[in-house]
Amino acid sequence: MAPATFHHEALLYEGDDEFVARCRAFVYEGLERREPSLVMVRPRKLQMLADALGERADDVHFADMAVVARNPARIIPAWARFLPDHASDGKR
């Protein structure tokens, strides 16, 4: 079996309700697998998603994209800092 590797998927959605529903489902799936989750979106969407996740929001790492992306060169380093602490020992 080939080792799991990182891959980026685009999330296409129409409107806030679909954004929340699709992101919530994706994050829940990862949480059920005990996979760490980092969500980087703007504050309004962070709050909508956190509200939809309820108590499970405590298990998710959130980053304000308005702050991180102020300099787009900081987006990948923010993700790279997350990895060593949360995706070690073969975790996805």
pLDDT digits (tens, 9 = 90+) for 44-65: 999 999 999 999 999 999 989 8
9 is a domain residue = no
Q: Is 38 helix (H, G, I), strand (E, B) or coil?
A: strand
The closest of 25, 30, 36 to 86, measured between CA atoms, is 36
| Helix, strand, coil distribution of the chain in percent, nearest 5 | 60, 10, 35
Looking at the 3D structure of the chain, how many domains does it have? 1
User: How does the average pLDDT of the chain come out, rounded?
Assistant: 84
Q: What is the pLDDT of residue 45?
A: 96
Q: What is the pTM of this model?
A: 0.74
**Residues paired with residue 38 on neighbouring β-strands, in sequence order:** 61
Q: Are 62 and 85 in contact (CB under 8 A)?
A: no
Q: What is the pLDDT of residues 15-39, one digit of tens each?
A: 999 999 999 999 999 899 888 888 9
Residue 8 placed within a domain: no
38 lies in some domain: yes
5 pLDDT band, cuts 50/70/90, is low
3-state SS assignment for residue 40: strand
Question: What is the percent of the chain where pLDDT is above 70?
Answer: 85
Domain with 52, as residue range(s), is 15-86
Domain annotation covers residue 47:
yes
